Structure 1
């Protein structure tokens, strides 16, 4: 889609609005301006919330919600080339990454459509309550109302789908705020919803810097649910500002994969080569740390170095490129400085060329180094030797994050020991921390946030149970004709 024909980027009450301010969108590899989108003001955002609030008073029926969501999935498939081109330009991720995420987003909208027609309450037994034997009670699930969805730069199709799809499926109205650096994917999705026939008011799009959007979105009691994916620092601000509204927060991590002495190292090497470096390591569950029993440390690092050294970083549109640039050059500079300060042996990679950082494998960094204690969000994996399996679990639990952990072992007892002991949202046995199927509950604990993605689970979170109690009178026999 050319900049001449592209909608403005500010969508309120079913209309694309003009705006005085413009936000340039850069090609993350070339640095060229590929588009400009309308910059929403605080007043625009208030209008968007007002439109959503008005629409939420008249929820669409389940069949209509399912029809719209299915239509969006169909339109995304039909317009795949446009979605992919914009995605690669604004993220810097490879074409293969773009097509994979588009497939995921389409699947999420289809899953959400299915959930729209499955929403149901349950019967509540009251017989055990004295004096309630003649009462019949059940719940119905109703939409929460206005949902604010704040999306990150690193998954502008699938994460938006995980927020908007379930919210619409549940009957809510949504105000979508995409990441400032990657608004084009969200713009295309909102266009698909409009084309699929979603009535005005049920989906708004506001593009604005956090300094504008944050206060306007958080300081409004009409919002009843916030779903946010981003850094732990900003997540704390969302939590503090949300008041009595519910929140789903998917925050930071420096995810670990544990390698036991009986692990199949070929599997570890193959999976980590993808899970540690896809999207240039800019994924919450990217393998950042590998804790390996010391007896396998040398064997694993040697095999990993050979595999990682074969990966190609550069132009995301070029054939054979495995990973493109980081989202901005300052992020590459930061990650490179962390490598330099890690006091580790760089087994391979770690060179910076502008915003491109070559895939880096570090051996045994200092325990207090940033590459081990913070979220690097870059193509850097550190391999750390541990005395035994229990030490690895202790190290994971001692850290502030708790999203997902991979565990490689052939011992079922050891695997379930990890499942019971690790304080994380998910344990992936014989897989890396990065495994994520879109139908599963996905979320973390501790500084990684709370709440879960996955349409079946998110739809339930985005509805309220309403209890209905019928005080039934036994009919007189002469009036009873059953």
Structure 2
């Protein structure tokens, strides 16, 4: 069955709906239409919230949540080839990226299944409170209710898993809005949940641009939790409109890896060649800046230039391709402009040539401090190398920036490593690795303009439940 024949962007109360409005899903390399997806209206969004609210009043038992999540993981493995085909087409990423992210998503659903069985409260000591000597108090954790999950284009399997998996594990109902240019992966996931036996209403799907249904999703007191991954600008809108609902916001970044004078440069080059350019640099933690102590600047820049020059950009389905297209020609055009502007003053430039949505991997040395490549999130296969006086100079530059997601620090000195870990104002510090390292079981999130809250099934399940205190007034038996 073709992608177009089985695609639908609207799943409400256990039924796939059609719609007058349509979203064309394009192959990001060829530009051909892959699918024609139903576009949700604001009224559809309200229907989805209403249905989720009704379903949330009948939360599943913990064991049933775990069973369904494990079955979803199994179904995704069984359907791997179809999921990978859709993923490569709608994202433009390599098949290796698709299969790697599919493995991650399967693992996230299995981790979420385990967390469904671990939800527990704690005993609260009251004996020291006068008049409470005979009371026994403990907490339970209960679902928050309706969760709205808004996912980005650059990780349409794993980020959806990080939002939907913990929400279902916690006993909530979910309204999922995927990025409108990569909805096919989300559709496949929702089908897996339906086939796994998830009761109607507990997972709703509304595909549409944020400008179309965003206000309807935000302006509803029945929603108790928003989990969003995307730009800082949109994150601010969600934070302002969420009211009393809790939010998890994973926003923009301009991730840095710091290279100390004693670092093993072979490791830096090898890791940056992947972490700076995988998924065409369209990863929140992609290495965008390298701050290297000035005594190693020339050596590192030359070695990176040789490595980057050997990366091949083009058709993601072709053998030997290292970097596929960006999500759109507009994104490629913007990134190329930033590279061109910075490159007028940079001492060294590799790549940066554009053909349609493809941008060849670029390396810039010493771009101007005020340039976009150093101050904004480029979300493209572009890495800039900047010399610094010492480790403290590098730390000060990172802390002065607006973003704070993750940072990498390369050094063989344990004292310097711990100094950096304690001083950097970011959500995560990776020692002898790049900013891009991410294990799905760990808490993952940022500070400053990179947002707040963390992903990771254990931590997300906790955030997506409320503590309920239970107090027993006990008497001595007669």
SS at match of 1:5: helix
Residue equivalent to 2:440 = 438
Q: Which residue of 2 aligns with 1:471?
A: 473
1:371 to 370, 373, 376: 373
Which residue of structure 2 aligns with residue 37 of structure 1? Answer: 37
CA apart distance, 1:3: 3.9
State the partner residue of 1:408. 410
Gaps of 5+ in 2: none
Residue 346 of structure 1 and its aligned partner are, at CA, apart by 3.8
The yes-or-no answer on 1:336 pairing with 2:333 is: no
What is aligned with 2:183? 183
Distance apart, 1:348 and its partner CA: 1.3
Instruction: Output aligned runs, 1:174-253, within 5 Å.
Output: 174-253=174-253
CA contact (8 A) 1:8 1:18 kept: yes
Alpha-carbon shift at residue 309 of structure 1 (Å):
1.0
Residue matched to 2:325: 325
For 2:105, the equivalent position in structure 1 comes to 105
| Correspondences of 1:284-433 after superposition (within 5 Å) | 284-342=284-342, 343-433=345-435
Aligned equivalents of 2:95, 2:346: Cα separation in 1: 33
CA contact (8 A) 1:7 1:16 kept: no
Q: What SS class does the counterpart of residue 60 from structure 1 fall into?
A: coil
Matches within 5 A, 1:8-87: 8-87=8-87
1:479 aligned residue: none
The TM-score, its normalising length taken from structure 1, stands at 0.98
* Aligned counterpart, 2:172: 172
Quick one: distance in 2 between partners of 1:212 and 1:136? 51
> TM-score w.r.t. structure 2 length?
0.99
**Structure 1 residue 7 displacement after superposition:** 4.0
Distance in 2 between the 1:306 and 1:136 partners? 67
- 1:74-102: per-residue Cα shift (whole Å, max 9, x none)? 00000000000000000000111000000
**Aligned structure 1 segments of 4 or more residues deviating by more than 2 angstroms:** none
**How far apart, CA to CA, are the structure 2 residues paired with 1:361 and 1:345?**
10
8 Å CA contact retained: 2:175, 2:203:
yes
Give me the CA root mean square deviation.
0.7
Alignment size in residue pairs? 476
Could you report, residue by residue, the CA deviation over 1:209-234 in whole angstroms, capped at 9, with x for unpaired residues?
Answer: 11112101000000000000000000
Give a deviation string over 1:153-177, Cα, whole Å, max 9, x none.
0000000000000000000000000
CA contact (8 A) 1:258 1:407 kept: yes
Aligned-pair distance for 1:4? 5.2
Q: In 2, Cα distance between the equivalents of 1:323 and 1:115?
A: 36
User: Is the Cα–Cα contact under 8 Å of residues 325 and 357 in structure 2 kept in the other structure?
Assistant: yes
2:7/2:184 contact within 8 Å kept: no
Is the CA contact (8 Å cut-off) linking 1:346 and 1:360 kept in structure 2? no
